[in-house]
């Protein structure tokens, strides 16, 4: 651990440019491209550069440049939602998107600054401190200000990398930390000054992590439970700029009614807010038709629609119609500025800039239980909620299947729908449950309990995805303990690094 690295006394423009490009390249590892080794190599470049500097300013700038390249490449779809569908002026939307990406870039910048001045041996700084700091800052990004866990590095490994074998144990943050460790081992083997044997040991460690992950993938953490259920996932493909227009409401209702009536499935799932009317405003004849269809098929129709009223609290909800008594789920984790305005006294002016219908939803209760519909126990989640694994497991192990309903028309023809589907694949791996995705414009998909997409519909098409799903029972370690084991490990390693730092500091 006493290896030394060639010094980089100050940051240069070529170094910042290399870091920026490395960050941008990492996005190709995520869906839809899915070249999963690229994020590992990208992070290895970043760690290798950071290992050569002990300057707080240089470490911060290198980390910030990497983060800027990463997030501008990965979440530039924010501009589409703000400008094209939110009605914000293009220049203001571009500025807001850049500032948002710059804020997110502060998290890798903190990693760069923190490692630069932490008084531990160079090898420990690279092999322990950097992976630890990376995992912790990604977790913080998924929590602070209600959280933005989009593009956590662990998602890039779904579904092909051996590292996803660790997902049922440590969740996406556990996978992300191991990915960072492999990147650190690569950087250590290339940048260190020392005997060849250390490079060999780095290679052995990387191979061991890969073999271990591959072996874990063969473990069946959960078991099939009950008979399979036939399902139909509806993709209405309603343009976002038409969705809430009163003159289009009848056309939307008729489109979904025709699609549902054509399916004999036990469980028919509509996308998020597919029916652009409050529950109380839905025509009685339409409601009766949904009830009759569910009973005729021996199951249920699960619709996405708002509940409540503008005169009081209203919710982003899913409601069941059919053989079982009507049940509902209200969205819990709301999107700031998209579904509610935080600190309304200060940020209320945003409502005048963004022309978003129903932008002040109330929050559903945290302790909602699975819906007993279609012969399954459904853990419903709405849009952005399936980005939070620790929240999904609240309904487990009781639930037998996961169902996500989304409307990603806000983001146009961008990477966002594919990135969102990849997060659903991770939720399936973490919980050992199948995941159904019913979306307005895509990606509508059936995902098995191993995180593989069994079937999907093309983006921006109108259609119904039919198939059969199997419910599962049992718990993965992640369902039992959530992020607690990873947080505990981080705490232990952090304590060790703190003790070493105290002993080494004059």
* Catalytic residue annotation: 272, 331, 383
- Sign of the torsion angle spanned by Cα atoms 467, 471, 476, 478: positive
Lay out the sheet containing 267-269: strands in order across: 328-330, 314-322, 300-308, 267-269, 229-235, 463-469
Structure tokens at 285: 């004849």
Q: CB atoms < 10 A from the CB of 17, how many? A: 12
Structure tokens at 275: 């029916």
DSSP reduced 3-state for 22: helix
Structure tokens at 335: 């999107």
Please, which residues bridge with residue 468 across strands? 230
The pair phi, psi for residue 305, each rounded to 5°, is: -165, 155
Q: How many CA atoms lie within 13 A of 287 on its CB side?
A: 12
Per-residue 3-state assignment (H helix, E strand, C coil) for 23-61: HHHHHHHCCCCCCCHHHHHHHHHHHHHHCCCCCHHHHHH
| Contact (CB, 8 A) for 440 and 408 | yes
Please, which residues bridge with residue 456 across strands? 445
CA distance 447 to 426: 10
CA distance 444 to 459: 8
């Amino acid at each position: 651990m006493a290896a030394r690295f060639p010094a980089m006394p100050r940051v240069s423009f070529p170094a910042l440019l290399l870091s920026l490009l490395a960050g941008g390249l990492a996005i190709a590892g995520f869906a839809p491209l899915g070249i999963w080794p690229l994020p590992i190599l990208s992070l290895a470049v970043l760690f290798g550069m950071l290992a050569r500097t002990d300057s707080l300013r240089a470490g911060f700038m290198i980390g910030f440049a990497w983060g800027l390249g990463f997030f501008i490449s990965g979440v530039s779809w924010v501009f589409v939602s703000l400008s094209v569908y939110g009605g914000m002026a293009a220049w203001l939307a571009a500025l807001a998107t850049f500032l948002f990406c710059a804020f997110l870039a502060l998290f890798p910048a903190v990693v760069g600054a923190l490692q630069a001045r932490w008084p531990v041996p160079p090898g420990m700084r690279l092999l322990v401190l950097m992976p630890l700091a990376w995992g912790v800052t990604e977790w913080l990004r998924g929590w602070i200000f209600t959280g933005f866990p989009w593009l956590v590095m662990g998602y890039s490994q779904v579904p092909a990398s051996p590292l996803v074998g660790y997902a049922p144990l440590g969740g996406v943050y556990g996978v992300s930390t191991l990915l960072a460790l492999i990147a650190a081992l690569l950087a250590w083997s290339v940048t260190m000054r020392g005997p060849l044997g250390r490079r060999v040991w780095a290679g052995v460690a990387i191979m061991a992590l890969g073999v271990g992950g591959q072996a874990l993938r063969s473990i069946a953490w959960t078991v099939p439970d009950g008979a399979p259920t036939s399902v139909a996932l509806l993709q209405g493909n309603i343009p976002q700029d038409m969705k809430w227009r009163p003159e289009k409401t009848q056309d939307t209702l008729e489109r979904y009614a025709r699609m549902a009536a054509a399916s004999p499935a036990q469980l028919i799932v509509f996308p998020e807010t597919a029916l652009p009317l409050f529950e109380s405003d839905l025509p009685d004849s339409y409601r009766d038709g949904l009830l009759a269809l569910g009973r005729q098929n021996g199951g249920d129709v699960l619709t996405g629609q708002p509940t409540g009223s503008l005169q009081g609290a209203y919710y982003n909800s899913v409601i069941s119609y059919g053989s079982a008594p009507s049940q509902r789920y209200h969205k819990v984790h709301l999107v700031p500025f998209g579904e509610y305005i935080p600190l309304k006294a200060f940020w209320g002016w945003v409502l005048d800039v963004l022309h978003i219908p129903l932008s002040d939803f109330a929050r559903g209760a945290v302790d909602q239980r699975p819906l007993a519909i279609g012969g399954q126990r459904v853990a419903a989640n709405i849009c952005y909620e399936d980005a939070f694994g620790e929240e999904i497991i609240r309904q487990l192990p009781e639930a037998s299947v996961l169902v996500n309903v989304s409307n990603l028309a806000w983001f146009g023809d961008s990477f966002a729908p594919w990135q969102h589907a990849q997060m659903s694949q991770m939720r399936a791996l973490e919980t050992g449950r199948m995941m159904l995705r019913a979306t307005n414009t895509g990606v509508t998909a059936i995902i098995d309990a191993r995180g593989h997409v069994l079937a999907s519909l093309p983006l921006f098409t109108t259609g119904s995805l039919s198939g059969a799903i199997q419910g599962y029972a049992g718990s993965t370690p992640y369902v039992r303990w959530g992020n607690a084991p990873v947080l505990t490990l981080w705490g232990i390693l952090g304590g060790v690094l703190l003790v070493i730092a105290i002993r080494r500091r004059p």
